[in-house]
């Protein structure tokens, strides 16, 4: 004797983990898109380029210093902490210098005079009378 299911067709109603992931995607994808555009805009600006250039130079200098400290047998934790302090100071100085340079540049630019726009009156086409029979 076998048992039979007599309740009709079984329907699955829940969406499971796929529903949760779909919800997270719909919430966070617009945020990621707008943040990505903002990051690209900041990185391609003059200020961003200057900061990235100086960070690159500082990273090379830090790598050289850490390598020499490792070869000399000095404590790497102390060397790493010192380099992190140097990187923070240098980045803060660069940002401050770029910001102050932009302020000076804005003050140095003369303000453009805005000309008042006036509507030109349309020229009336005057018809010169031709020598006709009556005139």
Domain boundaries, the chain: 46-106
Q: Is the pLDDT of residue 93 over 70?
A: yes
Q: What percent of the chain has pLDDT over 70?
A: 67
- Across residues 85-111, what is the average pLDDT? 77
User: What does the pLDDT read at residue 34?
Assistant: 83
- What pLDDT is recorded for position 71? 92
What pLDDT, on a 0 to 100 scale, did the predictor assign at position 72?
A: 92
Phi, psi of 113 (to 5 degrees): -80, 135
Which pLDDT tens digit goes with each residue over 106-135? Answer: 666 665 666 656 665 655 666 665 665 665
On average, the pLDDT of the chain sits at 77
Sign of dihedral through CA atoms 115, 121, 122, 125?
negative
User: Cβ(111)–Cβ(75) under 8 Å?
Assistant: no
Question: Residue 14 above 70 pLDDT?
Answer: no
| 3-state SS string for 91-134 | HHHHHHHHHHHHHHHHHHCCCCCCCCCCCCCCCCCCCCCCCCCC
């Amino acid at each position: 004797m076998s048992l039979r299911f007599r309740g009709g067709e079984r329907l699955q109603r829940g969406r499971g983990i796929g529903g949760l992931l779909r919800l997270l995607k719909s919430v966070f994808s617009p945020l990621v898109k707008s943040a990505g555009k903002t990051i690209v805009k900041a990185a391609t600006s003059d200020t961003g380029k200057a900061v990235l250039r100086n960070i690159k130079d500082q990273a090379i200098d830090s790598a050289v210093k850490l390598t020499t400290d490792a070869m000399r047998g000095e404590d790497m934790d102390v060397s790493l902490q010192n380099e992190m302090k140097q990187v923070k100071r240098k980045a803060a100085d660069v940002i401050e210098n770029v910001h102050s340079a932009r302020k000076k540049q804005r003050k140095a630019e003369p303000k453009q005079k805005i000309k008042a726009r006036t509507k030109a009156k349309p020229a009336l086409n005057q018809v010169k009378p031709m020598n006709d029979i009556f005139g």
